[in-house]
Amino acid sequence: MTMSKPRLKHNISDTTMRVVVYCSAAEALPDHWREGAAAIGRWIGERGATLVYGGVNAGLMTETAAAARAAGARIVGVVPVRRSNMASSLNDIQISVADLNERKATMELLGDVFVVLPGGYGTLDEFASTFAYINFTKQIGKHIVIYNPDGIFDPLMTQLDLMAEAGLMKPASSDVIIATATPAQTIAQLDRLLYIHNNHD
Protein backbone atom coordinates (compact mmCIF):
# COMPACT_ATOMS: atom_id res chain seq x y z
CA MET A 1 0.00 0.00 0.00
CA THR A 2 1.36 3.41 -0.96
CA MET A 3 1.02 6.20 1.58
CA SER A 4 1.12 9.84 0.58
CA LYS A 5 0.84 13.20 2.25
CA PRO A 6 -2.30 15.27 1.62
CA ARG A 7 -2.05 18.19 -0.76
CA LEU A 8 -1.59 21.52 0.95
CA LYS A 9 -4.96 23.26 1.11
CA HIS A 10 -3.54 26.64 2.09
CA ASN A 11 -1.99 29.14 -0.30
CA ILE A 12 1.29 30.30 1.25
CA SER A 13 3.03 31.22 -1.98
CA ASP A 14 6.33 33.09 -1.83
CA THR A 15 9.97 32.63 -2.69
CA THR A 16 11.40 33.11 0.80
CA MET A 17 12.76 30.16 2.71
CA ARG A 18 10.18 28.75 5.08
CA VAL A 19 11.74 27.59 8.33
CA VAL A 20 9.67 25.14 10.35
CA VAL A 21 10.54 25.18 14.05
CA TYR A 22 9.55 22.35 16.38
CA CYS A 23 9.98 23.04 20.09
CA SER A 24 8.66 22.82 23.62
CA ALA A 25 5.55 24.54 24.92
CA ALA A 26 6.83 24.15 28.49
CA GLU A 27 7.55 27.29 30.49
CA ALA A 28 10.07 26.15 33.14
CA LEU A 29 13.10 25.90 30.87
CA PRO A 30 16.72 27.10 31.22
CA ASP A 31 17.38 30.68 30.21
CA HIS A 32 20.06 29.70 27.69
CA TRP A 33 17.57 27.45 25.88
CA ARG A 34 15.22 30.43 25.62
CA GLU A 35 18.07 32.61 24.39
CA GLY A 36 18.94 30.01 21.76
CA ALA A 37 15.34 29.93 20.53
CA ALA A 38 15.30 33.73 20.36
CA ALA A 39 18.57 33.79 18.41
CA ILE A 40 17.12 31.44 15.82
CA GLY A 41 13.94 33.51 15.63
CA ARG A 42 15.99 36.67 15.05
CA TRP A 43 17.94 34.93 12.31
CA ILE A 44 14.70 34.06 10.54
CA GLY A 45 13.61 37.69 10.53
CA GLU A 46 16.99 39.18 9.68
CA ARG A 47 17.37 36.89 6.67
CA GLY A 48 13.89 37.66 5.35
CA ALA A 49 12.69 34.10 5.88
CA THR A 50 9.27 32.92 7.06
CA LEU A 51 8.72 31.19 10.40
CA VAL A 52 6.31 28.25 10.40
CA TYR A 53 5.59 26.86 13.85
CA GLY A 54 2.92 25.45 16.15
CA GLY A 55 1.31 28.84 16.51
CA VAL A 56 0.47 28.88 20.21
CA ASN A 57 1.59 31.27 22.92
CA ALA A 58 3.71 28.98 25.07
CA GLY A 59 7.30 28.10 25.91
CA LEU A 60 10.00 28.17 23.27
CA MET A 61 7.35 28.78 20.62
CA THR A 62 6.75 32.22 22.11
CA GLU A 63 10.48 32.94 22.41
CA THR A 64 11.09 32.04 18.76
CA ALA A 65 8.07 33.87 17.37
CA ALA A 66 8.59 37.05 19.42
CA ALA A 67 12.20 37.36 18.28
CA ALA A 68 11.24 36.59 14.69
CA ARG A 69 8.52 39.24 14.79
CA ALA A 70 10.88 41.86 16.25
CA ALA A 71 13.30 41.16 13.39
CA GLY A 72 10.60 41.52 10.73
CA ALA A 73 9.75 37.91 9.88
CA ARG A 74 6.45 36.76 8.47
CA ILE A 75 4.95 34.23 10.88
CA VAL A 76 2.71 31.31 9.99
CA GLY A 77 1.09 29.48 12.89
CA VAL A 78 -0.43 26.03 12.36
CA VAL A 79 -2.92 25.55 15.18
CA PRO A 80 -5.15 22.55 15.98
CA VAL A 81 -8.78 23.51 16.58
CA ARG A 82 -8.69 22.33 20.17
CA ARG A 83 -5.82 24.75 20.89
CA SER A 84 -7.29 27.76 19.11
CA ASN A 85 -7.77 29.53 22.45
CA MET A 86 -3.98 29.43 22.90
CA ALA A 87 -3.16 30.88 19.47
CA SER A 88 -0.50 33.58 19.45
CA SER A 89 -1.30 37.15 18.44
CA LEU A 90 2.09 37.15 16.68
CA ASN A 91 0.76 34.99 13.83
CA ASP A 92 0.44 36.84 10.51
CA ILE A 93 -1.23 33.82 8.98
CA GLN A 94 -3.02 31.24 11.09
CA ILE A 95 -3.83 27.87 9.61
CA SER A 96 -6.48 25.98 11.54
CA VAL A 97 -6.14 22.18 11.39
CA ALA A 98 -8.24 19.37 12.78
CA ASP A 99 -5.60 17.69 14.92
CA LEU A 100 -1.91 17.13 15.53
CA ASN A 101 -1.57 14.73 12.59
CA GLU A 102 -2.87 17.35 10.17
CA ARG A 103 -0.60 19.94 11.76
CA LYS A 104 2.46 17.77 11.14
CA ALA A 105 1.44 17.08 7.55
CA THR A 106 0.82 20.77 6.89
CA MET A 107 4.13 21.88 8.37
CA GLU A 108 6.02 19.21 6.45
CA LEU A 109 4.53 20.40 3.18
CA LEU A 110 5.27 24.04 3.98
CA GLY A 111 8.84 23.60 5.19
CA ASP A 112 12.05 24.17 3.25
CA VAL A 113 14.18 23.47 6.31
CA PHE A 114 13.23 22.11 9.72
CA VAL A 115 14.74 23.14 13.06
CA VAL A 116 14.29 21.02 16.19
CA LEU A 117 14.75 22.83 19.50
CA PRO A 118 14.53 21.19 22.93
CA GLY A 119 11.13 19.65 23.46
CA GLY A 120 9.24 16.68 24.83
CA TYR A 121 7.26 13.86 23.25
CA GLY A 122 5.40 16.23 20.92
CA THR A 123 8.67 17.56 19.51
CA LEU A 124 10.05 14.02 19.18
CA ASP A 125 6.89 13.01 17.33
CA GLU A 126 7.27 15.95 14.94
CA PHE A 127 10.93 15.13 14.36
CA ALA A 128 10.22 11.43 13.69
CA SER A 129 7.38 12.23 11.30
CA THR A 130 9.45 14.77 9.37
CA PHE A 131 12.52 12.49 9.28
CA ALA A 132 10.37 9.71 7.81
CA TYR A 133 8.64 12.12 5.39
CA ILE A 134 11.90 13.48 3.98
CA ASN A 135 13.37 10.02 3.48
CA PHE A 136 10.22 8.20 2.37
CA THR A 137 9.24 10.81 -0.21
CA LYS A 138 12.86 11.54 -1.21
CA GLN A 139 12.70 15.26 -0.51
CA ILE A 140 16.12 16.04 -1.95
CA GLY A 141 17.73 19.08 -0.38
CA LYS A 142 15.55 19.26 2.72
CA HIS A 143 17.31 19.03 6.06
CA ILE A 144 16.57 18.86 9.77
CA VAL A 145 18.80 20.98 11.99
CA ILE A 146 18.77 19.70 15.57
CA TYR A 147 19.84 22.32 18.11
CA ASN A 148 21.22 20.14 20.91
CA PRO A 149 22.14 22.29 23.92
CA ASP A 150 23.49 20.42 26.94
CA GLY A 151 23.39 17.20 24.92
CA ILE A 152 19.61 16.94 25.42
CA PHE A 153 19.28 15.01 22.15
CA ASP A 154 22.42 12.87 22.53
CA PRO A 155 20.39 9.71 23.31
CA LEU A 156 18.30 10.32 20.18
CA MET A 157 21.39 10.64 18.01
CA THR A 158 22.82 7.46 19.55
CA GLN A 159 19.55 5.62 18.88
CA LEU A 160 19.60 6.63 15.22
CA ASP A 161 23.19 5.37 14.93
CA LEU A 162 22.23 2.05 16.56
CA MET A 163 19.29 1.62 14.18
CA ALA A 164 21.54 2.22 11.20
CA GLU A 165 24.18 -0.20 12.53
CA ALA A 166 21.48 -2.84 13.01
CA GLY A 167 20.35 -2.44 9.40
CA LEU A 168 16.98 -0.98 10.36
CA MET A 169 17.60 2.04 8.16
CA LYS A 170 20.18 3.10 5.64
CA PRO A 171 23.11 5.06 7.13
CA ALA A 172 22.54 7.70 4.45
CA SER A 173 19.07 8.34 5.89
CA SER A 174 20.70 10.37 8.63
CA ASP A 175 22.43 12.62 6.10
CA VAL A 176 19.40 14.90 6.28
CA ILE A 177 20.16 15.59 9.97
CA ILE A 178 22.55 18.35 11.04
CA ALA A 179 23.26 18.45 14.78
CA THR A 180 24.51 21.64 16.43
CA ALA A 181 25.43 22.47 20.02
CA THR A 182 25.23 26.28 20.09
CA PRO A 183 23.09 29.02 18.55
CA ALA A 184 26.12 30.21 16.55
CA GLN A 185 26.60 26.74 15.03
CA THR A 186 22.90 26.51 14.27
CA ILE A 187 22.88 29.90 12.53
CA ALA A 188 25.97 28.99 10.51
CA GLN A 189 24.23 25.87 9.21
CA LEU A 190 21.04 27.80 8.47
CA ASP A 191 23.04 30.39 6.55
CA ARG A 192 24.54 27.59 4.46
CA LEU A 193 21.10 26.09 3.77
CA LEU A 194 19.68 29.54 2.94
CA TYR A 195 22.46 30.07 0.40
CA ILE A 196 21.66 26.73 -1.22
CA HIS A 197 17.94 27.55 -1.23
CA ASN A 198 18.50 30.93 -2.87
CA ASN A 199 20.91 29.61 -5.49
CA HIS A 200 19.37 26.31 -6.54
CA ASP A 201 18.62 25.77 -10.23
- CA–CA separation, 138 vs 33, rounded Å? 32
CATH topology of domain 20-199: Rossmann fold (3.40.50)
From residue 110, alpha-carbon distances to 11, 16, 146, 186, 191 in Å are 10, 11, 18, 21, 19
Our measurement of the distance from residue 187's CA atom to the centroid of its chain's CA atoms, rounded to an integer in Å, reads 14
- CA–CA separation, 146 vs 189, rounded Å? 10
Segment 93-139, tens digit of pLDDT = 999 999 999 999 999 999 999 999 999 999 999 999 999 999 988 88
Segment 47-56, tens digit of pLDDT = 999 999 999 9
Segment 182-194, tens digit of pLDDT = 999 999 999 999 9
Q: Which of 14-23, 34-43, 64-73 has the lowest mean pLDDT?
A: 14-23
- CA–CA separation, 73 vs 148, rounded Å? 24
